[in-house]
Structure 1
C-alpha cells in the first residue's frame, strides 16, 4: 500500500499538473531568451568566421547563450518586467499570491532582483527547452529500435539481444531523466521566485504605509458617523421621551413644551441628515485628489447647542472664527461627543462649556454634575471618549475625561498648528 502511494506521489511530481505548468513556464523562459540568443549569434559570427547558424559548433551556440544572458538581465531592469514576471509566475509556478510583490519595480533593489530573476528564468528555461526539443526524438528512436529496422539502420546499430533490451530501457530512462530535470528546475524557479520577485523592504514599508492610511481613513469615517449620528439619536431619544411624559400627564399647560421638543427633534434630524450626507460623500468620492467637504466647525456651534437637549452655559475666549478649519472641525466633534455623553449618562443635566482660542492652542473644557446613579456601561465600553482621544492625538494634542469632585469633566488641548 505504501509502495503504491510512493509511486503515485512520484508520478505526480514528474507528470502532475503542477509539473506540467512549471515545464510550460520553463519553455516560456526559453522562448523569451531566443531573441537575445539570436543577437548573440550575430555578434559572435564575424569573430568566429562561422556563417551557417545550423552547422555551427556547440561551443559557438553556448557562446551565444553566454552573450544572451546579460542582455536578459538588462531587460529585467525595466520597471514593468517585475509585474509581468509576477503574473506569469503566479499562474504557472503555483506560488501563493501574497508571497510575490505587486506592481512595477520602482526601487533599485527591486529592479536588481527582477534582473536576476529574468536571467535565471530565461537561462534555465533555455536549457530545459533545448533539451526538451532534442532529447525526446532520440529517446523514442532508441525505444523503437527493436520494432523498426529502418531506425536501427539509421542509428547504425547491429541487431542483438542486448540492443533489443538495453536500448529501449535507455530511451525510457532518458525520458524519465528529462521529466525529473524539468520538475527539479521548475521547483528551483518556484523557490527562487519568492526571493527575487517577493516584496523588498521598501515594498513592505510602502504596503504598511498604505494599510496604515486606509485604517486611519476608516477610523476617521467611523468617528464621524459615531459622533454625528450617535449625538442625534441621543438628543432625539431624550426630547421624545420628555414629550411623551408630558402627553401622558394630560397637562394642557405643557403643550408649548411638547411643541419645542418636536421642533428640536426636527432640527436635530435635519442637521444630522446633512452631516450624514457629507460623511457618505467621503465614501463615494473618486480617488482623484478631490478636496473633501468641510463639515461643521465651531462657527456652527450655536445651532448644535440650541437643539442638543441639554442646557449649556457657553463661555468663550478669543476669536473662534480664526481657528484653522481642521482644528475647528475636530473641536466641534469633541463638543458634540461630550454632549452625547451627557445625554447618555446624566440625562438633562446642565453643562458648562469653556472654549478658549489662544495663540498656540485651543482649549476645550466641559463639566456637568455626576448623576445620582452610576451610569450603565456597555460591554467593552463605548467608543465616543476613545474617539475624542484619537481626534486630539491626530492633531498632536491631548484629551482626558473622568470624574472630578462630584462633576464629570471632559477636557482637550488642541494645537492650532495641527498635524493634518
Structure 2
C-alpha cells in the first residue's frame, strides 16, 4: 500500500502533471477560436482535441523548438534536485540542442502532438473526476449538489458519501501518474539524441579517455624516470661511502628532479589550458638530457643518434622521447647502473629505437610495480602504426621500436 502511494510524495509527479496541463491550455486557447466552447457535444470535443495538432506539428519543424522542448522536459519530466528521490542525479537522456536534421524536426513534431493529446486526455479525465469529488464532498458535509456537474449522482446518506470522497481523488492521481510515465517514455524516445549526436558524444568521450590515458603515461614516464634515477643514485652513494661520489650523486638527483618538475609543469599547463599546443611536451631532440641523466646514475651509456631528428613530425618525435625515457627508466629500475647501448636511427621511411642492456645475475629489486611503462611503450607504438619488441634476447634485455613515417 505504501509502495503504491510513493509517487504521491514525489515532486516530479506534480511537475509532470503541470507539463501535461500546459499542453491542454494550448488546446483550450485554440478551441476559443474554433470550434468555440459553447454547446459542447462529443463531436465538438473531438474538434478541440484534433484541430490544434496541425499548428503544433508545424511548430515542431522550427529547429529551436526542439531545444525549448528538451529543456522543459529535462526540468519537468525527470527527477532532479527538486525531487526527493535516490535517482535524482540520473541522466535524463534528453537532448537540449536545436534540430540538426529533418529527422529531428519530424521527431519534434511527433513529440508535440503526443504531448498535446496526452494533455487533452489528462484534462478530459480530470474534469469529471474533480466534479465527482466536489459532489461527494459537498454531500458528505450535508449540502446540496444541484449546481455541481458530476457524472454520477452522489448517495443520499452523508456517511456513504464521506466514505467515497477519496475514490475520485485516487483515480485522478492514478491517471496523472500513468500519463506522466507515458509522457516521460515518449520524451526519451522522441527528444533523445539522434544517432549522429550519440556518435558525436561517444567520440568526445573516447577522446577524453585517450587524453586521460596519455596524461597518465606522461606523468608515469616523467616522474617514474626521475624517481628511479634518484633511488639508484642514493643507493650507489650510500654503498660507495665516498664524499666526492656522494656530492656528484646529489647533483644528479637535483638535476633530474628539476627536469621532472619541468615536465610536470608542462603537463599541468596542458591540463589548465585546453588550447595549449602539444608541442609543450619534450621531443626527441632533447634526448641528450635523458642520456646525461642515465650516465649520472652510474650507467655506461653508448648512445648513437643518427638522421634528421629535427625533421620528425611533432607527434612522432614526442612519443619517441617518452619511449626512450621509459626504456632507460626500465634499465635503471630493474638492472641498475649497467652498460646500455642506445641506437636511434631516423630513416627516410621509419624511425628505429634500440635499447639493449645485459641481464644482471641478480636482478635489482624494483622500485615500484613494473609492467606499466613497458605496456605504455607498446601502446604508443601501436597508436603511431608501428610495433615494439620487448624482452630478453641472448642474455640481454632489448627494447626495439619501429615507427613508420608515411
- In structure 1, the gaps of 5 or more residues are 1-5, 46-52
Structure 2 Cα separation of the partners of residues 64 and 206 of structure 1 = 41
TM-score for the superposition, normalised by structure 2 = 0.82
Map 1:138-149; keep pairs closer than 5 Å.
Answer: 138-145=132-139, 148=142
The alignment's TM-score, normalised by the length of structure 1, stands at: 0.80
Query: In 2, Cα distance between the equivalents of 1:237 and 1:380?
Result: 14
**Structure-2 change in CA distance of 1:79 and 1:380 (3 Å):** farther
The answer to whether structure 1 residue 323 and structure 2 residue 307 are counterparts is: no
Does residue 348 of the first structure (1) align with residue 342 of the second (2)? no
Residue in 2 that maps onto 1:391 = 380
Give the root-mean-square deviation of aligned CA atoms: 3.4
**Structure 1 CA distance, aligned partners of 2:111 and 2:369?**
50
> Aligned with 2:226: secondary structure?
helix
1:413 is displaced (CA, Å) by 1.2
What is the CA–CA distance in structure 2 between the aligned matches of 1:296 and 1:87, rounded to whole Å?
47
* More off after superposition, 232-241 vs 69-78: 69-78
Out of 34, 38, 47, which is 1:55 matched to? 38
In structure 2, relative to structure 1, the CA distance for the partners of 1:378 and 1:271 (3 Å cut) is closer
The correspondence for 1:85, drawn from 65, 70, 73, is 73
Match runs of 1:276-355 below 5 Å: 276-285=264-273, 287=274, 289-308=275-294, 309=297, 310-355=299-344
Matched, 1:26 2:26: no
1:410 matched to 2:399? The reply is yes
Give the 5 Å matches for 1:67-216: 67-77=51-61, 78-80=65-67, 81-91=69-79, 97-98=90-91, 100-104=93-97, 106-108=99-101, 109-133=103-127, 135-145=129-139, 148=142, 150-152=144-146, 154=147, 163-164=156-157, 168=161, 173-216=167-210
Aligned length: 389
Is structure 2 residue 220 aligned with structure 1 residue 226?
Answer: yes
Q: For the structure 1 residues 55 and 37, does the alpha-carbon distance in structure 2 shift closer, same or farther, using more than 3 Å as the test?
A: closer
* Unaligned ranges ≥5, structure 2: none
Task: Name the structure 2 match of 1:38.
Answer: 29
Comparing both structures, which one devotes a greater share of its residues to helix? 1
Q: Paired residue for 1:3?
A: none
- 1:386 Cα deviation (Å)? 0.7
Cα deviation, 1:139-187, whole Å, max 9, x if unaligned, reads: 42355347556534x4799xx9964479948876544433332232223
Q: Which moved more, 1:391-400 or 1:30-39?
A: 30-39
Local SS of the residue matching 2:79:
helix
- Aligned-pair distance for 1:257? 3.4
**What does the per-residue CA deviation read over 1:353-399, in whole Å, with 9 as the maximum and x for residues that have no partner?**
11111112111111111111245568974211011111111212111
Q: Deviations over 1:32-87 (max 9, x none)?
A: 45346534643x46xxxxxxx44253434542431223433444453302233123
Matches of 2:340 and 2:197 in 1, distance apart? 51
Provide the secondary structure at the position in 2 that maps to 1:282: helix
Q: How far off its partner does 1:31 sit?
A: 1.8
Structure 1 residues 147 and 355: CA distance shift in structure 2, 3 A? closer
